[in-house]
Chains A and B, each alone.
Chain A
Amino acid sequence: MSYISSSGKEYVCLMQVHCDFNIDELKQLISKFIGIIYQKPPVRSSVKRRTRKKKIYDIEILDTDKRFILLRISSDPGTYMRKLCHDIGVILGCGAHMRELRRIRSGIFTEKNLVTLQEISEALYMWKNCKDESDLRKILLPMEYATCGMPKILIDDNAVDAISYGAMLTAPGIVAYQRFRVKDTVAILTLKGELVAIGEADVDSQKLVDMKKGVVVKPKRVLMPRDIYPRSWKKHE
């Protein structure tokens, strides 16, 4: 999961300012928060409270009503919106705080393909009671989509079972690859597109062409169950 959640985030955030303000001045002030900011996590936080560097990619004022300001913010993961609102208030001089927050994007997940719990329940009902799985298929995204944005490697059928048992991926098992560098997180897929494992690259993909043997990827997380593909490695006598 951490491989997915470590990507960029986008929020809609309602901020309340504690005094009357000039909208143009506020716009100016907020735009200064775009870029690298230093942020100390709030008292109630899940991380160590030391000042961290985070990047704010964009802040847009969507709407204002008296002392309420609706913002759309895109930022690095781990940026506290509550603290951002507070800091805007500090610079403004009279304080501000966050009233409501909604995340509208987390990496590949946007509001576009969101489903509600009711929709999930209805789709399950259709499948179980009406033998219609079409709605369920619209809701369930194959887990492979989680590897979107990662370099990928396709492996031969013969290499699949060894990886599912935790073996390192070596050069002979590789059929195709997307360019990657040492230490990159890469996804290992079968020729059918099934995710086998996610691991860390041990070499640069440029070296692959001349490699006859040797470790290419060290799997960190194996996702395919064992014994789906035929076992083709030799047992130790």
Chain B
Amino acid sequence: MEIYDFIYKIDSFCNYSNNWNIIQDSYTDEKYGYFADKRPIEVLIKNSIINADKPPGPTSHEVAYWIKQMFKVSKAGHGGTLEP
């Protein structure tokens, strides 16, 4: 069994290394879900991260709310508050 390429990319994103150990053979059915890097754009919008450059002025909550409106999604949050 081969591990899907994208899965290696996740860890190379932050230079993390931890080898994979395969304990059983298995395959995935294309009928269900999507390969993580090949999601249709509508699905990707609901399952993604934006590394946004917050301008000084508006609060993090305000910016998160604007982004939520821009994408017309119901769930959006932010991580990382600089000195609340």
Contact = CB atoms under 8 A, between A and B. Distances in A.
Interface residues of A, number: 66
Interface string B26-39: 11110011111101
A142 B61 CA distance: 22
Interface residues of B, number: 53
A5 B51 CA distance: 13
A140 interface: yes
B49 A146 contact: yes
A68 to B, nearest CB: 18
Contacts, number: 171
Contact of B36 (A149, A176, A194, A209): A194
Interface of B: 1, 3-4, 6-7, 10-11, 13-14, 16, 18-29, 32-37, 39, 41, 44-45, 47-53, 55, 63, 66-67, 70-71, 77-84
Interface of A: 1-2, 4-5, 45-46, 80-82, 101, 103, 106-110, 113-117, 120-121, 124, 127, 133, 136-137, 139-149, 151-152, 154, 156-157, 160, 174-179, 189-195, 205, 208-209, 223-224, 228-230
